[in-house]
Structure 1
Amino acid sequence: MGLLDGLRSALGMGAEASATRDADPDDLFGMSTAYLTMEADLGFEPANAAALCFSGVDSTDFADAVEEVKAILDAGEVETGTKARFVDDSHGYQWVVLSDSDFEDLVTSVHFAADTLIERGYGSRLLAALFGFEKNGPVYWVYSFRRGAYYPFAPRSGNERDSTVEFKLESVLDGELTVEPEKDYWYPLWPDAGAHPWE
């Protein structure tokens, strides 16, 4: 099963029927303290990267909403130094990819982007937010907007994942983050070709 099927199954169409509640971007602020636990208690360094994934709509209004997100993030770059780029993947999903050495600025920027789309009436198009870390390989906390919960994803070469790391992160961060209790929704977001799921 590829990334397209994975996103549809875990974060999109499949999860829509079992969505626990409406998307709430304020959940993203949980990462503002969780990253400190990741770094101080577990030795995971922030990868200085985060991303927001959403499915587009072929409409002028939606294009205007995305332009508004771009304008907000461009203005934010002047203030915080957070760089944003917009990526279309090969499956038709759109990503806002953010880079900054200040993790809290990443969280704030992802929140602004998600909140803007929700205010414009496109909350149902939000799929996931990802926050990257490094320790003997990449690790992500993935937030599913449809499920209102996080899950860890530790990809390794050959489309393998380090379940030991994922379960360790669950055991330590559950309570500090709302961790998805159903492992069926811990879906791997394999990159097409690059190092990150949005590449």
Structure 2
Amino acid sequence: MGLLDGLRAVLGVRAESDAKRDADPDDLFGMSTAYLTMEAELGYDSVDSGALCFAGVDSRSFREAVAEVEAILEAGREDTGTDFAVTEDDHGYHWVVLEESDPEDLITSMHFAVDTFIEHGYGSRLLAAVFGYRSNDGPAYWIYSFRRGAFYPFAPRPGRERDASAEFKLESVLDGELDVESEKDHWYPLWPSEDGRHPWE
């Protein structure tokens, strides 16, 4: 399963039946305390970046929504120094990639972007928000599925393997602090593209 398959799953070929509720951008603020727990209790440091994935629409109004997101983030960059880029991957999915050493500013910028899409009526195009961490054992990500309205851990390892023990430990420590997806079948992997990199790296 490649990145495309993972994103299709997050979007949900069965999107309507998979969806638990409407996406709530305020869910992202759960990461404001989670990053402290990740560091203090689990030994994970933030990689100082995050990403928002969305599916595009070929329409003028959608392009205007994206332009407003960029304008808001540009204004925020002047205030907080949060850097950003809007990119498209090999499969046609779009990403807002944010770089910020202050997790609070990173989360706030992500929230502004999400809220703008929702205000323009494009909340259904939001797929996932990704927050990256690293430890001596390797990388780990908290992925927020907008369709499911929940977070889940993803700990990729070389050879397209997953560190299940690391993921279960992340779940056990952060469940309650984050709304963690209870159905493991929805812990979709977001594997890197063929060049071996994730869009947010």
Specify the TM-score bucket, using the shorter chain as the normaliser.
over 0.9
Which residue matches 1:151? Answer: 152
Secondary structure of 2:87's counterpart equals strand
What amino acid does structure 2 have at the position aligned with 1:172? V
Counterpart contact for 2:49–2:99, Cα < 8 Å: yes
Residue 194 (structure 1) shift: 4.2
What amino acid does structure 1 have at the position aligned with 2:85? R
What amino acid does structure 2 have at the position aligned with 1:54? F
Q: Verify: 1:161 aligned to 2:148, yes or no.
A: no
Q: TM-score, normalised by structure 1?
A: 0.96
Q: Which ranges of 4 or more aligned residues in structure 1 deviate by more than 4 Å?
A: none
Relative to structure 1, the CA distance from residue 54 to residue 62 in structure 2 (aligned partners, 3 Å threshold; closer, same or farther) is same
Which residue matches 2:46? Answer: 46
Secondary structure of 2:32's counterpart equals helix
Residue 197 (structure 1) shift: 4.9
Q: TM-score, normalised by structure 2?
A: 0.95
Which residue matches 1:196? Answer: 198
Which residue matches 2:9? Answer: 9
Counterpart contact for 2:50–2:200, Cα < 8 Å: no
Alignment of 1:7-46 (within 5 A): 7-46=7-46
Which residue matches 1:174? Answer: 175
Secondary structure of 1:91's counterpart equals coil
Counterpart contact for 1:129–1:144, Cα < 8 Å: yes
| Unaligned stretches of 5+ residues in structure 1 | none
**Deviations along 1:90-126, whole A, 9 cap, x unmatched?**
1110000000110111101111100000000000000
Q: Give the whole-Å Cα distance in 2 for the aligned partners of 1:93 and 1:110.
A: 17
Alignment of 1:19-98 (within 5 A): 19-98=19-98
Secondary structure of 1:146's counterpart equals coil
What amino acid does structure 1 have at the position aligned with 2:102? D
Counterpart contact for 1:87–1:198, Cα < 8 Å: no
Q: Give the whole-Å Cα distance in 2 for the aligned partners of 1:92 and 1:107.
A: 25
| Unaligned stretches of 5+ residues in structure 2 | none
Percent of residue pairs bearing the same amino acid type = 69
Counterpart contact for 2:48–2:99, Cα < 8 Å: yes
Alignment size in residue pairs: 199
Relative to structure 1, the CA distance from residue 179 to residue 185 in structure 2 (aligned partners, 3 Å threshold; closer, same or farther) is same
Counterpart contact for 1:127–1:145, Cα < 8 Å: yes
Counterpart contact for 1:89–1:198, Cα < 8 Å: no
Q: Give the whole-Å Cα distance in 2 for the aligned partners of 1:71 and 1:2.
A: 32
Relative to structure 1, the CA distance from residue 166 to residue 142 in structure 2 (aligned partners, 3 Å threshold; closer, same or farther) is same
What amino acid does structure 1 have at the position aligned with 2:153? P
